[in-house]
Amino acid sequence: MDPENVTGRTEFLLLGISEDSELQLFIFGLFLFIYLITVFGNLFIILAVSSDSHLHTPMYFFLSNLSFVDICVTSTTVPKMLHNIHTESKSITYEGCIIQMCFFNIFAGLDDFLLTVMAYDRFVAICHPLHYTVIMNPQLCGLLVLTCWIISILLSVSQSLLVLRLSFRKVVELPHFWCELSQLIQLACSDTFLNNLVMYLVVVFLGGGPMIGILYSYAKIISSIQRISSAQGKYKAFSTCASHLSVVSLFYCSVIGVYLSSAGTLSSHSTARASVMYAVVTPMLNPFLYSLRNKDIKEALSVLLGKERRTHHFS
């Protein structure tokens, strides 16, 4: 092992999605725009749900939690990227890298689990409508969200602690715009067998478990919808799932696309560019998918924006 491999003095360089100096201003403007849209779009969803008593239901409770997590996902990566471009620096400290990786994994896992919980909520609403309020009571909803947080934190912290045992060169170049776990493991100088084993187990758990839950829920939902006699009833039942199904499809298709695109090319920045879709673009699109396809959200947003305009007018 190189004698300069002293982890305590390690500095990581985030190379971003491109090293072309002529593109940096464009990348800065684009990501700043996306970040602001993500924050304000999801914040409006949270404010709309909290301000409208008609939206104080399990479905919108989970949606507001998802919006909060989407803000956190992008906030762990994009601000640091913008700061590095602005200061023309690519560096991030060893401690900062570990913290960024840990928080990103927490919020990414939460996204996955919350989508599964929301699928279960729709399953109960359509397959057991008469018992919906009894089953999806506030205590259960709170417990489900708390469980999602606990599992995500435990999985992320366990992987982060395992990374702490690894040794790195004095300067480590990461062809990414945040400290991504798999690339950190690949660039380590020490034995990474345990890290890879745990990482693959977590990926199987995060990918397989929630996906099975979502597919099972929607299989039951489709079966129940088919038994509805009227076309209007079928449409009404399906419309309550349309927004969630769109978000789920976008999330999983983008994640799968990342792995397929990164596996099919030798470009060092390919994974970073592909990761933009699920780490940056998807959180931005989620509030639009819910507001454009959901009448209740659109009405609540109209009332919220109307109140803000009136308040501003009389101030």
* 11, part of any domain: yes
Can you give the pLDDT at residue 109?
94
User: Does residue 295 have a pLDDT over 90?
Assistant: no
Structure token pair of residue 290 = 């819910």
DSSP H or E segment with residue 267: none
Average pLDDT, the chain: 86
The whole domain housing 175 covers: 7-314
Q: Mapping DSSP to helix (H, G, I), strand (E, B) and coil, where does residue 1 land?
A: coil
Structure token pair of residue 11 = 């500095």
* 2, part of any domain: no
* 100, part of any domain: yes
Can you give the pLDDT at residue 160?
95
For residue range 207-235, list pLDDT tens digits in order: 889 999 999 999 999 998 888 888 887 88
User: Does residue 258 have a pLDDT over 80?
Assistant: no
Q: What is the number of domains present in the chain?
A: 1
* 295, part of any domain: yes
* 300, part of any domain: yes
- Cα–Cα distances (Å) from 257 to 147, 242, 271, in that order, read 28, 22, 10
Of residues 297 and 87, more confidently modeled: 87
- CATH code, domain with 225: 1.20.1070.10
Can you give the pLDDT at residue 261?
59
| Strand extents, DSSP E, 65-198 | 91-93, 171-174
Cβ contacts of 150 within 8 Å, gap of 6 or more: none
Can you give the pLDDT at residue 124?
95
Could you tell me how far CA 311 lies from the centroid of its own chain? 33
* 250, part of any domain: yes
Are β-strands 171-174 and 11-14 bridged in parallel, bridged antiparallel, or unpaired?
Answer: parallel
28-36 mean pLDDT: 96
Structure token pair of residue 4 = 């300069």
* 1, part of any domain: no
Chain position carrying tokens 């057991």: 128
pLDDT band at 268 (very low <50, low <70, confident <90, very high): low
Query: How far is 26 from 113, CA to CA, in rounded Å?
Result: 34
For residue range 99-138, list pLDDT tens digits in order: 999 999 999 999 999 999 999 999 999 999 999 999 999 9
* 226, part of any domain: yes
- Cα–Cα distances (Å) from 233 to 68, 145, 236, 240, in that order, read 32, 30, 5, 11
Chain position carrying tokens 């396809």: 293
Chain position carrying tokens 């909060």: 68
80-99 mean pLDDT: 93
Can you give the pLDDT at residue 284?
92
Query: How far is 142 from 138, CA to CA, in rounded Å?
Result: 6
**pTM of structure:** 0.88
Q: Are 243 and 290 in contact (CB under 8 A)?
A: yes
